[in-house]
Structure 1
C-alpha cells in the first residue's frame, strides 16, 4: 500500500520583510524627529522616512504618497492634537497602521490612543530594542502596547464616530474644530454629542469627559 504523504505542519507567521519602504513620522520637535529617523535607518527598519510637524501636513503627505507602510505619531502637536489624524484615516481601507510615540506614557494616554484606533504605543523614553520590537510586531499585524492596559470591551455602547467625537471633546476641542477635524456638519456633531450625553446620563461637556474617563472609554 502506498503511504499517504503527511501534511506539512503549519508554520508560524513569517517575519515581514524589512526595511519598510516608506514611513511617516509626525512630530513637531525637529531634533527628536531627526534622531528617530536616524534610528529607524540604522536598524534597517525603514528605507525612506518622511516627516510632518502637524496633522494638516501629514494629511497632505498621505494624499501624495498612498504607499506609506507605517505612521509614527506624536500626540502633542502644534495646532490639532495628533489623535485627530486617526479619524481621517478610518475611512480609508488602505490606511497604514499608526503607532503613537508620546512623552506621556500614563494609562490614560495609552487608553486614549488605543480607543482612537492606534495599533501601538511607544514611550519616547523607550530604548532602541523596544523600537525594533514595536515595528516588527505592528507590521506583523499585532498590537504593541505597554502591559496592563486592558482593551476596550466589546460592550462599548458608542459607535466609532461617536467615539471619535468624544476623543476630540476630551482634548478640549469646541464643536467647530470637531467639525473641521472629522469633516462633519455642526448639526451632525451636535447629534453625536447629544447621543453621548444621553448614554452617560450627563448634561455638560465636563461631566461627559470625567465620566467617560471613569468608565475607561478614554
Structure 2
C-alpha cells in the first residue's frame, strides 16, 4: 500500500487496486471518527485515498493546492467555524467536487440548511455501511442523496421557500456575502429577503430573528 500524509499529519493508506474514486477529502475534527470512516470507505472499495482535515481553513488550503478531489465529506460541527462555511468558498474553484454533509444532527432543520447551502447530499453519522455505499454511488452518478427526502416549506409559514433558504443559512451564522454565494443571489436580493423575514417576525436584528424563528418552530 502507498500512503498519503494529510494536512493534519495523519498517514492515510491507499490500496493499489482501481476503485470508483481516487481521492476523497474528509473534514471532521474528531480524529477517531475520521480515521474510522476513512478506513470504512477503503474497506468498502469506495475510494483509493482519503485525506483528512480538521478545520474549514485546512480543507480550503488543501482544495486550493490539490484539484483532484472527487468528493468532500464535511461535518457541520467543527471547532472555530461551521462546516457549511466551506461551501461558499468553493465557488471560486474551477472544478468543485460534490459535497456531502455528515452530521450527528439528523433533524430536518439541519438537512434543510445543508441543502440550502448547496450540498449534494446528507449522511447521518449514525448511518450504517449500506447507507454510506449508497450515498457514494448516488453522488458520484451526479444524483443528490438526502435520505427520506426534504419536504417543501409548509404552506402555513408566512415565508417563501427562498426566504426560508436565507433564514436557514442565517441561523447557521452565515453573513450576507456567504448567503449570496451559497444561493447565487445578489446582495440586494438577500437584503430584501431578510427585510421581509424581519417584518414577518417583527424583529430588528439577526439574533432576534433566529431566536424567534426557532421559538415559532420555523427552524
Q: Which structure 1 segments of 5+ residues have no match?
A: 1-16
Q: Aligned pair count?
A: 188
Aligned to 2:26: 25
Asked whether the equivalents of residues 25 and 72 of structure 2 are also in contact (C-alpha less than 8 Å), the reply is: yes
* Alignment deviations for residues 144-202 of structure 1 (CA, whole Å, 9 cap, x no partner): 1121422579x6445x8xx3xx55531346xxxx3897899xxxx99677433322124
Q: Secondary structure, in 3 states, of the residue corresponding to 1:147?
A: coil
Aligned to 1:8: none
Q: Secondary structure, in 3 states, of the residue corresponding to 1:63?
A: helix
* Alignment deviations for residues 62-94 of structure 1 (CA, whole Å, 9 cap, x no partner): 011111100000000011100000111134351
* Alignment deviations for residues 110-130 of structure 1 (CA, whole Å, 9 cap, x no partner): 111111111111111111111
Q: Secondary structure, in 3 states, of the residue corresponding to 1:105?
A: coil
- TM-score, scaled to structure 1: 0.73
Aligned to 2:75: 74
Q: 1:157 to 1:43 in 2, by over 3 A?
A: closer
Asked whether the equivalents of residues 101 and 124 of structure 1 are also in contact (C-alpha less than 8 Å), the reply is: yes
Counterpart-to-counterpart distance in 1, 2:52 and 2:62: 9
What is the RMSD computed on CA atoms of the aligned residues? 3.2
Q: Secondary structure, in 3 states, of the residue corresponding to 1:25?
A: strand
Aligned to 1:149: 150
Q: Kindly indicate whether residue 193 of structure 2 is the aligned counterpart of residue 196 of structure 1.
A: yes
The structure with more radius of gyration: 1
- TM-score, scaled to structure 2: 0.73
Q: 1:210 to 1:193 in 2, by over 3 A?
A: farther
Asked whether the equivalents of residues 112 and 150 of structure 2 are also in contact (C-alpha less than 8 Å), the reply is: yes
Q: 1:190 to 1:148 in 2, by over 3 A?
A: closer
Q: Which structure 2 segments of 5+ residues have no match?
A: 1-17, 155-159
Aligned to 2:104: 103
Q: How does 1:21-60 map to 2 (within 5 A)?
A: 21-60=22-61
Question: Counting strand residues as a fraction of each chain, which structure ranks higher?
Answer: 2
